[in-house]
């Protein structure tokens, strides 16, 4: 133990201690440290050195009580294992941190009851603002939120009463679908993992396909031992003269899918076009130039942070904000619809 380390049983130094050591009043010490009002430079120095001598660390709880502001934001996320989710968290965290805010994170189970509990919990802790991520099928939780009267920003989707932040992923999907239409594709197969957060994707994809005159078959692969194995799904969907010629898949399914396609002798994009939701550097550098709807979760996080910070400064956000975090990236995994090889595919089945 160095001489400077305090006895671990001594209570932490308070502003009072600092003021006393510097020979000034507590209010002066407060002003000197926070800089919120003019104090003579001489005293500022004295207070500062007293503070550092005592290892003074302001008590945020006391400050919060006094100012009715906790400088803390809450984040409620559903319990999903989306690979990109940590990036989102990081975006939010770094975005608010530089403005002096901290982040309180709670992970909700699926049920609305738990959501309500967590909202209450954050309310008791008097969050200055809340980021709310609800699973798509979540019923209304707005009552619990109303009571709290806390600036709350919904991500991806949420109750109509809340400002909503989404990304340009929808537009990107639209562009991808249009491109497929140009290439002569007529039917798309979507393979998704149920626990991927933005399952609005499916809706977006369906709408875009409708506009472009394409048909969509959406298949959510259940998490545990699917009754209809993925393999059967795909073969069925790709088969026949009306079979899908293009595949949209969650990135997590790509390895399995590639394996399966290779095993069946189907080539990308000669036999089937492939578009992934999400990017991974490893799919790119290795002879698999995978076209994708890239979605930088981190960008969405920082955007959310920025909107919230502005809100706390009095600038109420628009009801719907779209962030440029989604992008259509065309790569060699898509090509003209493989009408010619239909027969070959039929044989597979």
Partner DNA sequence: GTGAAAGCGCTAACAT
Partner DNA sequence: ATGTTAGCGCTTTCAC
Residue 127 binding DNA, by CB under 7 A: no
H or E stretch covering 212: helix 200-212
The two three-digit tokens of residue 230, written as one number: 């993925």
Residue of 54, 63, 203, 267 interacting with DNA (CB under 7 A) = 63
Cα angle vertex 77, ends 73, 80, to 5°?
155
* Residues 256, 221 contacting (CB under 8 angstroms): no
Residue 16 binding DNA, by CB under 7 A: yes
Size of the site for its own copies (CB under 8 A): 68
Which of 158, 140, 166, 192 lies closest to 77 in space, CA to CA? 158
Which of 13, 24, 85 lies closest to 52 in space, CA to CA? 13
Q: Minimal distance in Å, beta carbon 102 to DNA?
A: 16
Query: 237 to 256, contacts with DNA by CB under 7 A?
Result: none
- Print burial letters for 187-224: b (CB count within 10 Å at least 16), e (below 16): bbbbbbbebbbbbebbebbbebbeebebebebbbbeee
Write the interaction track for its own copies spanning residues 102-141; mark x where CB under 8 A is met and - where it is not. xxxxxx------------xx-xxxx---------------
Q: Minimal distance in Å, beta carbon 19 to its own copies?
A: 18
Residue 80 binding DNA, by CB under 7 A: no
| CA–CA dist 182, 172 (Å, integer) | 15
What is the number of H-type helices and E-type strands within the chain?
Answer: 14, 12
Binding partner selected for residue 14 from its own copies, DNA, none, CB under the kind-specific 5 to 8 Å limit = DNA
Residue 220 binding DNA, by CB under 7 A: no
Binding partner selected for residue 33 from DNA, its own copies, none, CB under the kind-specific 5 to 8 Å limit = DNA
| CA–CA dist 338, 70 (Å, integer) | 59
Q: Which residues bind DNA (CB under 7 A)?
A: 11-12, 14-16, 23-28, 30-31, 33-34, 36-40, 42-43, 56, 58-59, 62-63, 65-68
Give the footprint of its own copies on this chain (CB under 8 A): 5-6, 8, 55, 57-62, 64-65, 70, 72, 79, 81-87, 89-90, 93-94, 97, 102-107, 120-121, 123-126, 146-149, 223-226, 229-231, 252-256, 258-260, 262-263, 280-283, 285-288
């Amino acid at each position: 133990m160095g001489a400077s380390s305090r006895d671990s049983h001594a209570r932490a130094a308070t502003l009072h201690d600092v003021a006393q050591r510097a020979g000034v009043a507590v209010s002066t010490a407060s002003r000197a440290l926070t800089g919120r009002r003019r104090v003579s430079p001489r005293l500022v120095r004295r207070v500062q050195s007293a503070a550092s001598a005592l290892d003074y660390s302001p008590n945020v709880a006391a400050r919060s009580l006094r100012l009715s502001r906790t400088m803390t934001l809450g984040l409620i996320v559903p319990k999903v294992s989306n690979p990109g989710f940590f990036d989102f968290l990081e975006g939010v965290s770094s975005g608010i941190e530089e403005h002096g805010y901290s982040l309180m994170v709670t992970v909700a189970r699926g049920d609305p009851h738990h959501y309500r509990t967590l909202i209450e919990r954050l309310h008791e802790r008097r969050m200055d603002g809340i980021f709310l991520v609800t699973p798509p099928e979540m019923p209304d939780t707005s009552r619990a939120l109303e009571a709290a009267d806390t600036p709350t920003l919904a991500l991806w989707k949420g109750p109509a009463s809340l400002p909503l932040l989404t990304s340009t992923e929808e537009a990107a999907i639209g562009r991808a679908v249009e491109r497929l239409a140009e290439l002569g594709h007529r039917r798309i197969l979507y393979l998704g993992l149920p626990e991927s957060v933005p399952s609005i994707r499916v809706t977006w994809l369906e709408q875009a396909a409708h506009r472009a005159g394409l048909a969509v078959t959406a298949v959510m692969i259940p998490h545990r031992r699917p009754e209809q194995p993925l393999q059967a799904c795909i073969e069925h969907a790709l088969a026949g003269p009306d079979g899908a010629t293009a595949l949209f898949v969650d990135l997590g399914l790509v390895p399995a899918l590639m394996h399966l396609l290779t095993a069946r002798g189907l080539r990308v994009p000669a036999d089937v076009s492939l578009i992934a939701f999400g990017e991974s550097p490893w799919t790119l550098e290795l002879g698999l130039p995978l076209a994708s709807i890239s979605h930088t979760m981190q960008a969405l996080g920082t955007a959310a942070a920025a909107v919230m910070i502005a809100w706390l400064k009095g600038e109420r956000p628009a009801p719907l904000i779209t962030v440029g975090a989604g992008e259509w990236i065309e790569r060699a995994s898509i090509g003209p619809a493989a009408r010619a090889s239909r027969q070959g595919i039929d044989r597979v089945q």
